[in-house]
A and B are shown apart, each in its own frame.
Chain A
Amino acid sequence: MHTPLCFRSEIHVPGLGNSVKQDLKTLKATVDERNLTDMWDMMLMLDYNVANADDLSPETREEFYGIISLLLKAFKE
């Protein structure tokens, strides 16, 4: 009998998803402040096909967090 493979996306770390969710809220405030809201919306729609970051799965939420972190650095005044 085969043992099922354990993919990274199947590993659940209690509380981690909520933490990233909270971090994204903080990041969104910075995005709005820096006038990058249209870039945030564009990335959500084009790469994840959702209108709201709350609709992202925990795994894609982390990935999106990474993109937005880089976005803020890339458009640093």
Chain B
Amino acid sequence: MPTKNETVFTELGTRAIEKGLADPQLTAFYDSMMSSSGLVSDKIREHMPYLSLCSDKLIKNYPPPIFYVGRRSSQRVLFGEDWAMQQDQELKTPDPDLEEASTAAYRAALSGGPYYGYARASIDIGGKIVDIAFERLIIALRPSPKSERRFCAYFGVIQDLQQQ
């Protein structure tokens, strides 16, 4: 019977991106956002297909709800079209254990600077256990200079994916 392996989240820090150790597309997104000081500009447009966007509302031990899943984002690849297209309730990733484990990264991105890290986890997707390794960058952004609103942009890159 398939079993879940231990979830490991390791913060690598954005210095790892600056040293050229991260995925090239993720690095390009990071460089764009750093050059616009955490404000949304036209530079984000080319990265939109790869992003998931969520609010800044951390509720208890869970990450903020998602409102946008890019057409080529890692979350859409992993969890599927049906998951990405649902609108009836708050959109969260389907594995509660992974949700809970990933909260600290969103908290860090919202209270400090951008979060960059590596994760290895077993995820329950509709009863199937999938072992996955991925890197992720989470950045808190403002939609406009005067806006009081913030939201989180998530750029995930799946490095390895295997079904048990």
Contacts and interface: CB of A to CB of B under 8 A. Distances in A.
Interface of A: 35-36, 38-39, 41-43, 46-47, 49, 66-67, 69-71, 73-76
Interface string B73-96: 000000000000101011100000
A71 to B, nearest CB: 4
A46 B90 contact: no
Interface of B: 40, 44-45, 48, 54-55, 57, 64-68, 85, 87, 89-91, 143-144, 147-149, 151
Which residue among B54, B148, B149 has the maximum number of chain A CB atoms within 10 Å of its CB?
A: B149
Contacts of B67: 67, 70-71, 73-75
Given A70-B66, A74-B91, A41 B143 contact: yes
B71 to A, nearest CB: 10
B54 A74 contact: yes
A38 B65 contact: no
A70 B67 CA distance: 5
A53 to B, nearest CB: 16
B14 to A, nearest CB: 23
22 contacts: A35-B149, A38-B143, A38-B147, A38-B149, A41-B143, A46-B40, A47-B68, A66-B85, A69-B87, A70-B65, A70-B90, A70-B91, A71-B68, A73-B90, A73-B91, A74-B66, A74-B67, A74-B91, A75-B57, A75-B67, A75-B149, A76-B57
Contacts of A49: 45
A58 B150 CA distance: 29
A67 B44 CA distance: 17
Contact of A42 (B55, B57, B143): B143
